[in-house]
Structure 1
């Protein structure tokens, strides 16, 4: 049995955030690239049936592919992250998934409000200010990161490594 995740992969962010994520995000060291989580945990891999996978496919097929930019650094208490703008299309995708899978709320249900974000550094305390400053400097040099996710990804964690199990294209 393995955990699964529904997410939007954002490879365009890797040149800016990849080295931070390698240092400060354990999921990066386990093979998970830059991403925006929609539902985690999703459904244990043993429970993924053809019907369930078809439901994920159908949800994605009804939604437009989200386009966004990442230009603003924000924080949660121990997380440094990039804010996608506009965020409304991402909330719409997460809400559609939550309607299709009510037992698996967006964001895993751990927080009262779903906030789309691309985590750059997790579990940071003392180094948080330095990470924020360096990330802001990189964004100033690079400019905003533009993302266009053509598909929704279902990822699975097996043997402490993440891999893409399936990809579901959006409407357009």
Structure 2
């Protein structure tokens, strides 16, 4: 094995996400402690497609295709009003979620050659992760999120664009954005 092969780094990965800064006052501190992506600089978000494409392959043509997809979808409002769980994740659920689900279906159909990672699950569950890889204190985190929602009320959000987020050595950053239609 050559030194170059032994010490090569993986390609920077990208994901497509709706950034949700409106959620930061409610759960930003929890995410900073309990969501590894937050510690790497990725703010509150709803993942639409991951992985997307390795960064060097995100060409102007790919971005044009992405903008064509997002132009078919109107900007939309949603609320974060529910707390849900997966076995090791606590999350906030967007309501209504149908516009997000339609956007995901269109994005996945428009980029069939993107890499796949991990298990494939039936049914997409739109969510904003608050705590990941947690097994202990799961119920306490759920109770904290529910208590905060009860005290502050649901979080009103607006999706205006899809962000291409890149994870490189320094952490996550916005690589590009594709606006949703303002029709």
TM surpasses 0.5: yes
Q: Deviations along 1:34-87, whole A, 9 cap, x unmatched?
A: 000000110000111111110001111111112110111010010000110111
Please tell me the root mean square deviation across aligned C-alpha atoms, in Å: 1.6
C-alpha contact (below 8 Å) 1:60/1:171 kept by paired residues: yes
Conserved? CA contact 1:39–1:107, under 8 Å: no
CA deviation after TM superposition for structure 1 residue 104, in Å? 3.5
Residue 130 of structure 1 aligns with which residue? 140
Q: 1:156 to 1:163 in 2, by over 3 A?
A: same
1:73: which partner in 2? 83
- Runs of at least 4 residues of structure 1 off by over 4 A? 105-109
Gap regions ≥5 residues in structure 1 = none
The one of 127, 142, 149 equivalent to 1:139 is: 149
Alignment of 1:1-172 (within 5 A): 1-104=11-114, 110-172=120-182
* Structure 2 CA distance for partners of 1:80 and 1:124, relative to 1, 3 Å: same
Which secondary structure does the structure 2 equivalent of 1:58 belong to?
helix
Distance 1:58 1:147, change over 3 A: same
Please tell me whether Structure 1 or Structure 2 has the larger radius of gyration of its CA atoms: 2
- With structure 1 as the length reference, what TM-score do the two structures score? 0.95
Runs of 5+ in structure 2 lacking a partner?
A: 1-10
After TM superposition, the score normalised by the length of structure 2 is: 0.90
Paired with 1:42 and 1:171, the residues of 2 have a C-alpha distance of: 22
